[in-house]
Structure 1
């Protein structure tokens, strides 16, 4: 496939004619909306031939809530090895708490497509936020931990899950070793019934990196405890932070460079964001709150406001600015160029695969490019 950057005066028909492809394929690949206007600087994915070269086999994962649009899920499942259902919580006594919305339909669809449904375990409190008290209890109380493990095994059997993903955040530094032991205990139990256990890791660049996100995550211990790991290499640009790329490739590379010194390469999955942010300017710390947008929505905003899309050569990410109702805005998002950079990183380091947060919004061009670059492991 070819990535084409739109120039002034381009139309879907003129691009189709120049590359010998159909206008319909451009519209479909890139989820263009009638009347099919384009933004200068927009990256389009074109079907210009068949990839006959050797392609690496990789594992792919995507997180989804049970309220995902069924069309989006059906369109995405062919590109996923695993589907992580988000999420299952637990109580201070180790009772498993399923999602408030039925997830059995997702599990059934995943299995039909040869995608493994994964139970995602999170320590959410009553307020729906990560609760490190819950973490402390489950990693330190043997009876509570065993009850939770028993409940996980029962849920795997009941609903047909084919693995567990442990996504704990804000782990206290003093729980660093007990948390790794907890992951190892869950892995032993889940492996015994034939399924793997993964763990999500905050994006560290050193052993003693300060901060509540990092103190409780020991890359070496967790790399040994789990079957595989997900590097959560996103959220440099985030809801309450200043405008910047969500996953700048230079920062992502720093995390990978550290991770491979502590975790076997064949266990590492690269986290990829499937979203962007729209900030209102000027940014004011503690006041400004960016709006989360899909990558296709970002392009539409540029089109609607007749502004060019730019591309940062350090972050290797697209961005643009615009004005609306007298207010300035700055948008950072992902396109096929930034995705290609992340795929290249997976190739360069020989990583196990990729994991997407989240697949709630369909980004067809990404999936087509992924399949053009790699062969995807399926059941």
Structure 2
């Protein structure tokens, strides 16, 4: 039986599409009949080029807006989020929920360190965050704490027991302050370098724990030159967090809509490329898309997205997240979200 593509089959695709997708001979995937979140991250800095009305609303269940940022004085930095209310209203008109992501990589989450040292500052931050979420109609909050003294200041891996516990305490305080049914989630990494900072106690205060299962290769000495989120690495990431005590039914697992290029085949310099751009390049160069590689660029593919979604389904995990929605390809035949929907349909949550 040919693989269904939400209205397309391999036999119905053009020759170019078959080349791009590599769908010949693929097995029919098992499909979830339960409602599982399909979360699409939406970066507000792409608002002008990708306004909300252009998003593929039928391919995801939740939109996670990135990002607001904590400030050391307890305020919430919302620069760039001027259209937040309009985005939320559009999402609600489509029957979708919207989560506000707070924090991010590097300096984006550094202020969490100072906020959580001072009970008064933490309380002020939570009050400001709760007020902003209520005023703009958000359905949830995601805490993305990625800055740690060990890793970011001391270039040292592992767990800082004092700092990691402060994230747990922040999540507990947020859960107590934010009214139900407001969603509360927290982002975690896998791997002993930074993954050890995230304690399984986080799940006691979160509706979802979002595993960022990508960026496992890059511009550092010990990194291999290869795919940053292939299926083998993805499985290892799932094993890592479950072995640390995170329960599958709380885990929403992320995958990347971008590729990493090792410039000149070396790991001293890497560049990121949107998946949608790589589709165009693969087509022009007549490279099969599901190869997941062009020269020194390694990237996600529809075949890989389906395999990851299938693994999430088999392991009884909560759902899936794509970072990020504007980097996906709009055409259903090439879209990563469409590939995910073949296994975990967003329509099941309608």
Which residue pairs with 1:84 in the alignment? 64
Indicate the structure (1 or 2) with the bigger Cα radius of gyration.
Answer: 1
TM-score (norm 1): 0.75
Task: Indicate yes or no: 2:132 matched with 1:155.
Answer: yes
Spell out, residue by residue over 1:36-58, the C-alpha distance to the aligned partner (whole angstroms, 9 max, x if none).
Answer: x8389531569x9x999763331
Write the mapping of 1:141-180 to structure 2, written as runs, cut at 5 A: 141-172=118-149, 173=160, 174-180=162-168
Write the mapping of 1:101-180 to structure 2, written as runs, cut at 5 A: 101-102=81-82, 103-122=84-103, 129-132=107-110, 134-172=111-149, 173=160, 174-180=162-168
Q: In 2, are the aligned partners of 1:115 and 1:378 still within 8 Å (CA)?
A: no
Measure the CA separation in 1 of the matches of 2:101 and 2:342.
29
Measure the CA separation in 2 of the matches of 1:237 and 1:158.
40
Measure the CA separation in 2 of the matches of 1:123 and 1:53.
32
Aligned length: 323
Match of 2:187 among 176, 200, 203: 200
Measure the CA separation in 2 of the matches of 1:258 and 1:52.
25
Match of 2:233 among 239, 248, 251: 251
Measure the CA separation in 2 of the matches of 1:238 and 1:73.
34
Q: In 1, are the aligned partners of 2:66 and 2:100 still within 8 Å (CA)?
A: yes
Measure the CA separation in 1 of the matches of 2:328 and 2:31.
27
Q: Which structure features the higher share of helix residues? A: 2
Measure the CA separation in 2 of the matches of 1:366 and 1:257.
23
TM-score (norm 2): 0.81
CA separation of 1:39/1:333 partners in 2, compared to 1, >3 Å: closer, same or farther?
Answer: farther
| Deviant stretches of 4+, over 3 Å | 1-4, 37-41, 50-54, 68-75, 237-243, 305-311
Which residue pairs with 2:341 in the alignment? 371
Between the two structures, name the one with larger relative contact order (CA 8 Å, sep ≥ 6).
2
Spell out, residue by residue over 1:10-31, the C-alpha distance to the aligned partner (whole angstroms, 9 max, x if none).
Answer: xxxxx98x82x3xxxx47xxxx
**1:276 positional shift:** 1.1
Identify which range, 230-239 or 268-277, moves more after superposition: 230-239
Identify which range, 239-248 or 106-115, moves more after superposition: 239-248
**1:281 positional shift:** 1.8
Measure the CA separation in 2 of the matches of 1:168 and 1:360.
23
Q: In 2, are the aligned partners of 1:224 and 1:263 still within 8 Å (CA)?
A: no
CA separation of 1:310/1:337 partners in 2, compared to 1, >3 Å: closer, same or farther?
Answer: closer
Residue ranges of structure 2 left out of the alignment (5+ in a row) = 150-159
Residue ranges of structure 1 left out of the alignment (5+ in a row) = 5-14, 28-36, 312-317, 322-329
CA separation of 1:54/1:154 partners in 2, compared to 1, >3 Å: closer, same or farther?
Answer: closer
Task: Indicate yes or no: 2:80 matched with 1:100.
Answer: yes
- 1:194 is paired with a residue whose SS is coil
CA separation of 1:156/1:371 partners in 2, compared to 1, >3 Å: closer, same or farther?
Answer: same
Give the alignment's Cα RMSD to 1 decimal. 3.1
Measure the CA separation in 2 of the matches of 1:295 and 1:2.
25
Which residue pairs with 1:267 in the alignment? 250
Q: In 1, are the aligned partners of 2:22 and 2:289 still within 8 Å (CA)?
A: no
Which residue pairs with 1:9 in the alignment? none
Q: In 2, are the aligned partners of 1:3 and 1:337 still within 8 Å (CA)?
A: no
CA separation of 1:157/1:307 partners in 2, compared to 1, >3 Å: closer, same or farther?
Answer: closer
Which residue pairs with 1:184 in the alignment? 172
